[in-house]
Structures are given as C-alpha cells and as structure tokens.
Structure 1
Amino acid sequence: MRALLVVNPRATTTSERSRDVLVRALRSAVDLTVAYTEHRGHATRLARDAAESGVDVVVTLGGDGTVNEAVNGLLTASTALGGLPGPIAGRLPALGVVPGGSTNVFARALGLPRDWADGTSVILDGIRDGRHRVIGLGRADDRWFTFTAGLGWDAATIRQVERARRRGRTSTPSLYLRATFGQFLTGVDRKNPALTVEWPGETPDTLLSTVIVQNTAPWTYVGDRPVHLNPDASFDLGLDVAALRKLSIPSSARTVTQLAWRAGDPRGKQVLRRHDVAEFTVVASRPQPFQLDGDYLGDRQKVHFVSVPSALRVIC
C-alpha cells in the first residue's frame, strides 16, 4: 500500500521529534512518501498529484487548514473529475488525519483523539484493519470544505486572528474570544445587515448579519468544550445553516450566553436555522469576509453552497 504524508512544519502542537516518530510508525505499515508544505495551497497540489499517481492513502499532519487543502487536492484530481457515475469517494485515496493544529475541529468531529500520538495509533490500526468511513462534504463555489463555512462576523473574527498570528501571536481560545468581541464592536456594520440567503424555490431570507454553514457538529471548540450552533448537523446529511439577523447588543449577548452556558443550540427571533439543506446561495449587498474550515479566504459578495454526499473516505 502506497501512502503520502503531508506535513505542515509550522503545525502548532508537533515538533521535529514527533514528526520523526510518526514517519517511522507509518513506514512500518505502508510504502511511505513524506512531503513538507512550503506555502499556503501547497498541500492541495501535493494531494492532487498523489491521487493522480495512484496513491492509496493521503495522511495529513497539521491543523484544519492543512486538512482542507489536502481534501481540495483530492477532490480536484482527475480521478475525482472523471465523469463516472456513483459516489466520488471510491475513486480517491482514503484520507488519514493526524491532529497537529491548535483546534483540530475536523479530526475531533470524527471522534479521533486530540493527541497526535494517539491519532497516529488510530490511523495505523485503520490502515491495517481496512477501517474507514465515507462522509459527505460541502462545496462553496469551486472550493470544498469539511466542517464549516461562513460569511460575516465569524469570518471577520478569523481574519483578525490570522492577522494577529502573522504578528507572532499564538492561537489560543482567549485570542479568538478577544477577536470575536473586537470584531463585533468595530469590525462589522451591525445596523445594516448585508446578507441574503436564497433557497431554491422559496422566498429568500434577507437582512442577515452573518451566515454560518455546518457540514457536521460541533461548529467549533473552545478548549475542550464543543460549541453547537446546529447540534444536528452531520457528515451523513446535507448542510445546516445558522444565521443571525441585526446584531443588536442585547440579542447578540443572549446568543453568546446560550453558546457559552448551554454549549450551543441558540434560539430566538434573531436566529435563523435550517437543517439538512442540499443547496442555497448567499448574496451580499457589499463585500463580506468569507471563511472555509477556519481559513479566511478574502471578501465575497456571492457564494453558492452545495452538499455532496459520499465524497470522501476517511480512516477512522
């Protein structure tokens, strides 16, 4: 069995020693090639080339951004786009995820352990026993995502966190919380909601301040605590949508309190939610921050979302 290990050398929670241990462990089970990412987007090309060369497994060591890039590489390989009928997953290498980032939402949503060493053991056992799970993915225009996407407040928060990290700050829950409140106060126009969600064959929902899309639950984690906007979201169903209307201080404080104290499932007049949706389009009256799987991807005014079932095999 041939495998590619895609390593993000800047992964938050791993060291050179731990990477060496992982490489030796994988080489005991598969014919392994190791590649280190050198810039943003590099993992996409590495995974695409691996899929087109017939590799059986692609393993990532990094955070959710590395996973997202690898998934986009796999799903844009010629083997995925060959026009054959049936699920995409059976035509692609399986994906193995060893957590190495600060949050690792995708890996944890799959039930994988947070620790990279325990995660490695799961991957090795899965390879040896042939265990995998087939999951659905989301697609935003031409970009795939594994667990979340968003326009508005949450994407503005991620943009601010990425700016702080480029200045040398460490990614921590407190950094995200400060960025969340900072963007609420100064980074978004709370009085003039810009977003509309267009549902096929239905009346659109207008005057929305932020739209968050989930492909699974939870939405994210704060430390060990899962945060649920749409607790019924699942890899086995369509997409779930949570949107907030005008961001007044009282209503927003109530929503944040629900997230903090009830671990999610917010309700109220300012909250719009949809479950198990096949497709929809988000349109903005002015450019809005846009994120996929926790990476800020610039500002957008229109994004079309589609749920794609049985898109990826994941070792578990």
Structure 2
Amino acid sequence: MRALLVVNPAATTTSARTLDVIGHALANDLKLEVAATEHRGHARMLARRAVEEGSAELVIALGGDGTVNEVVNGLLSHGPDVGSLPRLAVVPGGSTNVFARALGLPNDAVEATGALLSALESGSERTIGLGHAAGTPGSADAEVPGRWFTFCAGLGFDAGVIGRVERERERGKRSTHALYMRQVLSHFVHDPRRSRGTITLSRPDRAPIEELVVSIVCNTAPWTYLGNKPVYAVPGTSFDTALDVLALSKLSSAAVTRYGTQLLRSTPERGPHGKHVASLHDVSEFTLHSQVPLPFQLDGDHLGLRTSVDFTGVPHALRVIV
C-alpha cells in the first residue's frame, strides 16, 4: 500500500529517535513516503497534494491534534468523497492527542504504531463524521474559508484560553496541563466579557439561546483530557452522531467552581448541568453569533477573532484506520 507519513518534527512528546523507529517500522509494511512539516499549514498542503496527485492510498499524521487537523483539511480540500479519498491514520505525538485517544488508540507513539500496523493487517477501519465551520453569509466573517474539525471547536472563553496558551508557547513554554490551568485562571480574571454573554446560538425552526459566555462544540467524546482523565462535555457525543454543544450563560466565581467541578467529575452519561447550562445533542446545523468579535478555535488551534460562525455536522466524512 502506498502511504504518506506526514511528520511534525516539533511534536511535543516525540523524540527524533522515536520518529526514526516509527518510520522504519511503517516502511517494513508500506511503500512509504515521509514528509516533514516546515511551517504552519504545511501538513494541509502535503495531504492535499496526495489527494490531487493520487500518490497515496493512506495518509498517516504523526503529531498532535493540530497536525491531524491540517491533514484532515488537506484530505477534504475538495469535499468528502469517502470512496475516492485516501484513508487517514494517526500516530499521536502531541501533548494531549484527543482525536487519537477518542479513536481508542494508545497515547504512546510506538504503541500506537503497533496498533496501526495490526489494523492494516486485519483491514480494520471505520467511517467517522466530522464538523465543519464557516463564516456566516452576510457577516463580517463571510469571506473566511470554511474549515473541518475532528473533535471540538469553541467561540469565546475556551478559545481565549487556547490563545493565551499559544502565546506562552511562542515564548518558549512547554505545552503542559499545568500551563492550561494557569491560563484558565488568568483568562477568567482578565476577560472583560465573562460577566455578560454576547453569544447567540441559532438553529433552524428553534428559538435562539442568547447571552452565552461559553460555547463549546463537540464532535466526539471525551471533549478533552487532563492527563489520563477524560473530560466529557455533553452525554452521548460520538463520531457517529452530528454535533453537540455545551454553552454557559454565566461565568461568575461560583459558576466556574460549580461547573468546573462537574467537568472534573463528568462521565460519558453525565456532563455539566444546571440553571446556566445549555446542552444540545446531535445537532446538524446551527450558528454562533457574537455582538463583538471573540476568540475562535478549532481542534485546539486558535484562529483569531470571529463574530459569526456556521456549524455543520457531516456524517460519514472520512475513513480512518483503527
């Protein structure tokens, strides 16, 4: 099988020696081309080229969730056509690796490579649904290109935290769970909009949900991990359903304590709940609109400020080796 291995050499938890071991292991079973990313967006370009040139039947992303997101967007540059697109495989190399772990893969890169080779030998794969986000027609973001996401998106508070983390990483800090928690607290203290929600969630033929402070969109479960602990936002979220939304209309100190504790204690059957929580399951189409520009993120990648984003859950979008 012809395969392209897209490697992020700056992957957080993968050494050069480990990358070499993985490459050799895959090359024993595959006709392998290896390409290392050199800049942001490069993984997307490599995957798109593989589709357009028909040079690979399998594209393997070795890196974190950001690398996976770029590869997925490259594969789907011309839209989902499951029968003709290369299959996707993932070897986790980032700090959290939500997508790979949600697929049931080991969080260790070498172990995940072994699982991948076993799956290829047995022909084990699944077709998953994905999320798509695009600027709302007629809004200030109408010209922003649409983008696919694999596990989550967010407009508002959580995206602001991710933006802070990215700035810290640019200053040389390592991406750790402690860094994320510090930025959650810092953003809570300094965010001037947390006391009054500016986000409205609109759905076809439904009353809008207004004055939201937090809006988290999930395509699978768990939403994220704290170390080895999975954190669930909405019960029942799955690659086999459309999108789920967890939204909060209040972010006071008491609300943060209450809902933060609920997240830490969450299970696949129970997520945050209460007076200021809106929890939506299996929604195919909706729009998040803000009165003011807010931070926006997809798959943990901060994409700047947005005022209005259309979300779509697309079933059976991609074949994945598992």
Residue identity matched to 2:216:
I
Identify the range of structure 1 (147-156 vs 127-136) with the bigger mean alpha-carbon deviation: 127-136
Residue identity matched to 1:74:
L
Q: Give the counterpart of 2:308 among 302, 307, 312.
A: 302
The answer on whether the counterparts of 2:58 and 2:87 sit within 8 Å (CA) in structure 1 is: yes
The answer on whether the counterparts of 2:200 and 2:209 sit within 8 Å (CA) in structure 1 is: yes
CA RMSD of aligned residues (A): 1.1
Residue identity matched to 2:2:
R
CA-CA distance at 1:190 after TM superposition:
1.7
Q: Give the counterpart of 2:104 among 90, 101, 111.
A: 111
The answer on whether the counterparts of 2:88 and 2:320 sit within 8 Å (CA) in structure 1 is: yes
Deviations, residues 19-47 of structure 1 (Å, cap 9, x unaligned): 11111111111111110101111100000
CA-CA distance at 1:210 after TM superposition:
1.3
Q: Give the counterpart of 1:175 among 168, 171, 179.
A: 179
Whole-Å separation in 2 of the counterparts to 1:203 and 1:238? 20
CA-CA distance at 1:217 after TM superposition:
0.5
| Counterpart secondary structure, 1:135 | strand
Whole-Å separation in 1 of the counterparts to 2:281 and 2:266? 20
| Counterpart secondary structure, 1:97 | strand
Residue identity matched to 1:62:
G
Residue identity matched to 1:119:
A
The answer on whether the counterparts of 2:157 and 2:194 sit within 8 Å (CA) in structure 1 is: no
2:137 counterpart residue number? none
CA-CA distance at 1:253 after TM superposition:
1.4
Q: Does 1:130 align with 2:136?
A: no
1:75 counterpart residue number? 76
Residue identity matched to 2:189:
L
Whole-Å separation in 2 of the counterparts to 1:188 and 1:308? 35
Whole-Å separation in 2 of the counterparts to 1:268 and 1:143? 32
| Counterpart secondary structure, 2:71 | helix
The answer on whether the counterparts of 2:223 and 2:230 sit within 8 Å (CA) in structure 1 is: yes
Deviations, residues 61-80 of structure 1 (Å, cap 9, x unaligned): 10000000000000014xx4
2:2 counterpart residue number? 2
| Counterpart secondary structure, 2:34 | strand
The answer on whether the counterparts of 1:152 and 1:188 sit within 8 Å (CA) in structure 2 is: no
The answer on whether the counterparts of 2:128 and 2:317 sit within 8 Å (CA) in structure 1 is: yes
The answer on whether the counterparts of 1:5 and 1:59 sit within 8 Å (CA) in structure 2 is: yes
Whole-Å separation in 2 of the counterparts to 1:129 and 1:25? 17
2:16 counterpart residue number? 16
2:211 counterpart residue number? 207
CA-CA distance at 1:262 after TM superposition:
4.0
Residue identity matched to 1:25:
A
Deviations, residues 117-163 of structure 1 (Å, cap 9, x unaligned): 11001111122222111000000011000000001110000000000
2:155 counterpart residue number? 151
Q: Give the counterpart of 1:288 among 294, 298, 307.
A: 294
Residue identity matched to 1:50:
A
Whole-Å separation in 1 of the counterparts to 2:65 and 2:208? 32
Q: Does 1:166 align with 2:159?
A: no
Gaps spanning 5+ residues in structure 2: where?
A: 135-145
1:84 counterpart residue number? none
CA-CA distance at 1:248 after TM superposition:
1.8
Q: Does 1:66 align with 2:67?
A: yes
CA-CA distance at 1:89 after TM superposition:
1.8
2:317 counterpart residue number? 311
Whole-Å separation in 2 of the counterparts to 1:127 and 1:52? 23
Whole-Å separation in 2 of the counterparts to 1:8 and 1:190? 35
Alignment of 1:217-232 (within 5 A): 217-232=221-236
CA-CA distance at 1:192 after TM superposition:
2.1
Q: Does 1:51 align with 2:51?
A: yes
The answer on whether the counterparts of 2:290 and 2:308 sit within 8 Å (CA) in structure 1 is: yes
The answer on whether the counterparts of 1:218 and 1:231 sit within 8 Å (CA) in structure 2 is: no
User: How high is the TM-score relative to the length of structure 1?
Assistant: 0.95
The answer on whether the counterparts of 1:29 and 1:128 sit within 8 Å (CA) in structure 2 is: no
Whole-Å separation in 2 of the counterparts to 1:231 and 1:168? 37
CA-CA distance at 1:268 after TM superposition:
0.4
CA-CA distance at 1:232 after TM superposition:
1.1
Whole-Å separation in 1 of the counterparts to 2:239 and 2:12? 26
Whole-Å separation in 2 of the counterparts to 1:188 and 1:229? 24
Whole-Å separation in 2 of the counterparts to 1:200 and 1:18? 49
